[in-house]
Structures are given as structure tokens and as C-alpha cells.
């Protein structure tokens, strides 16, 4: 089983829609979680950290569910510019490896 | 502030040859990470260097190696190239404060093995 799994998508949504992605992880001792965004043929860039209490940054909300071992990313009022691949990152408690998911592709259509 | 830089942008090698990829981190960053991004496989963690030492490596064979120089720049060497080594190799840097800091990625080196 992979350390981190994501639905590859693509998720095709109209502008203004709300869309959510999940990322499941297998190591219950995982400590830190992040969402990165990668535009086509570009390098990944940090979108937001995922805190135990959940966190929100504008239209983006990230949540952690330790019991079910997944993190989620919710995007409200989707914009065309949100079209990208979203990568989750999981760091185990001993902070010695970095596990990236293979990414979920989002296409926001006009 | 200059970002992470990588060279070369593209590299074409034949099977069995060696490839050397280079990375310069953001000024002030001491940690450098290398990832392989093959088509459809996502980012696979390769190596992590900090303060000149290898802190950890991913599940890659020993022919993938590297080093970090006193100025914190880094090299990734891939020996005995195989066709499946063709991928985008991304370097990232961060501060290393004992917790996971945001990693800033370079534009990558696209390695093609023929």
C-alpha cells in the first residue's frame, strides 16, 4: 500500500463551484501535513499547511481527520486560475521522510 | 531574493552513462532535497542534505547519489543510467529548524535517457 494516496482526477468543475479532494495516508504516526499546488510544467508551490484544528485561507479550507487518516482540501467559488494539480504531503513523526501524493488534477471550466 | 536554481534545464543521455544535476538553494537555506517526478508517479523523495550531510534517502538504488557543498549547493549523480530514469528531477530547499519548513522548489532538470 502506498504511503499517501490521492484520486488522480481530473475533477472538471464549472467556475464558482465548490470542490473537495481527499488524501489518505497509511502511517498513523504521521505528524505534519501540507497541500502543494503544481501548475502544468511548473514546480510545486506550498498552498497551505494542515493543522489538527483545520485551517482556512480565503476560499481554501484544509482539514485533518486522524481517526480515518485523511486530509482534505476544500475550494469554494472556484476560479479558472485554480486549475492545477494539488499534491498532498505527509511527514511522519520522526521527520525523516517526505511523502508526496501523486496529485489530483483540477480543471475549472468557464 | 533569487529562488532555487537548477542546471541544466534539459539533459539527454544514453543508457549506461552518468548524469550530474546541480542545484543552488535560496540564500540562507541549509537543507536541500531532491525528488524524481516521473510521468504519472508523482514526486518520489530521493535525498535530503543538510549542513553538508546526507540526512536521509528514499527508496532508490545506490547509483543515485549526491553531495552538498559548503555553500549549500548540491549535486545529484545518477550512474549507469537506465531508461526508466527518464523523469523531471526537482530540487527544493528550506530552512531546517527541526520542523518541516516550507520547501521551495526549483524549475527542475528534465533528464531523458535514450
Cα separation, A17 vs A19, in Å, equals 6
For the stretch B31-84, pLDDT in tens is: 999 999 988 778 898 999 988 999 888 889 999 999 999 999 999 999 999 999
Cα separation, B75 vs A34, in Å, equals 26
B68 phi/psi in degrees, rounded to 5: -125, 135
Instruction: Please check whether residue B56 is in contact with residue B35, taking contact to mean a CB–CB distance below 8 angstroms.
Output: no
Residue A95 has a pLDDT of 65
B65, β-bridge pairs: B77
A92, β-bridge pairs: A30
Average pLDDT, chain B: 91
Query: Reduced to 3 states, what is the DSSP secondary structure of residue A26?
Result: coil
First-to-last alpha carbon distance for chain B, in angstroms, is 37
Q: Does A94 touch chain B (CB under 8 A)?
A: no
Provide, rounded to the nearest whole percent, the portion of chain B with pLDDT above 90: 75
Residue B42 has a pLDDT of 80
Q: Does B59 touch chain A (CB under 8 A)?
A: no
**Alpha carbon of residue A109 to chain centroid:** 20
Residue A89 has a pLDDT of 92
Cα separation, A102 vs A92, in Å, equals 17
Least confident piece of the model among A1-5, B3-7, B38-42, B44-48 = B38-42
Rg (CA), chain A: 13
Average pLDDT, chain A: 91
Q: Does A44 touch chain B (CB under 8 A)?
A: yes
Q: Compute the Cα dihedral for A59, B101, A44, A29 and give only its sign.
A: negative
Pairwise CB contact (< 8 Å): B100 & A91: yes
Residues 6+ apart with CB under 8 A from A85: A37, A38, A39, A40, A103, A104, A105, A106
Predicted confidence (pLDDT) at residue B98 exceeds the cutoff of 60: no
Cα separation, A12 vs A17, in Å, equals 10
Instruction: Please check whether residue A35 is in contact with residue A88, taking contact to mean a CB–CB distance below 8 angstroms.
Output: yes
Pairwise CB contact (< 8 Å): B105 & A95: no
For the stretch A37-90, pLDDT in tens is: 999 888 999 999 898 888 999 999 999 999 999 999 999 999 999 999 999 999
Residue B100 has a pLDDT of 64
Instruction: Please check whether residue B35 is in contact with residue B89, taking contact to mean a CB–CB distance below 8 angstroms.
Output: yes
To the nearest whole angstrom, how far is the Cα of A56 from the nearest Cα of chain B?
17
Predicted confidence (pLDDT) at residue B97 exceeds the cutoff of 90: no
Cβ contacts of B99 on chain A, cutoff 8 Å: 32, 95
Amino acid at each position: 500500500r502506498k504511503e499517501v494516496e490521492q484520486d488522480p482526477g481530473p475533477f472538471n468543475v464549472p467556475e464558482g463551484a465548490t470542490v473537495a479532494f481527499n488524501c489518505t495516508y497509511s502511517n498513523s504516526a504521521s505528524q505534519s501535513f501540507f497541500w502543494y499546488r503544481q501548475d502544468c510544467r511548473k514546480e510545486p508551490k506550498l498552498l497551505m499547511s494542515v493543522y489538527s484544528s483545520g485551517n482556512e485561507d480565503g476560499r481554501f479550507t484544509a482539514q485533518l481527520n486522524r481517526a480515518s487518516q485523511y486530509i482534505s482540501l476544500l475550494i469554494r467559488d472556484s476560479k479558472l486560475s485554480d486549475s492545477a494539480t494539488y499534491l498532498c504531503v505527509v511527514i511522519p513523526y520522526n521527520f525523516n521522510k517526505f511523502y508526496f501524493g501523486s496529485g489530483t488534477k483540477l480543471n475549472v471550466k468557464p | 531574493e533569487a529562488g532555487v536554481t537548477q542546471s541544466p534545464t534539459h539533459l539527454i543521455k544514453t543508457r549506461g552513462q552518468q548524469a550530474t544535476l546541480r542545484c543552488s538553494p535560496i540564500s540562507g537555506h541549509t537543507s536541500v532535497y531532491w525528488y524524481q517526478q516521473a510521468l504519472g508517479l508523482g514526486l518520489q523523495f530521493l535525498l535530503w542534505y543538510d549542513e553538508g550531510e546526507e540526512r536521509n534517502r528514499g527508496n532508490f538504488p545506490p547509483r543515485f547519489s549526491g553531495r552538498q557543498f559548503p555553500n549549500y549547493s548540491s549535486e545529484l549523480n545518477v550512474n549507469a543510467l537506465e531508461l526508466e530514469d527518464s523523469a523531471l528531477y526537482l530540487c527544493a530547499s528550506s530552512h531546517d529548524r527541526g520542523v518541516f519548513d516550507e520547501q521551495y522548489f526549483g524549475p527542475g532538470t528534465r533528464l531523458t535517457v535514450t
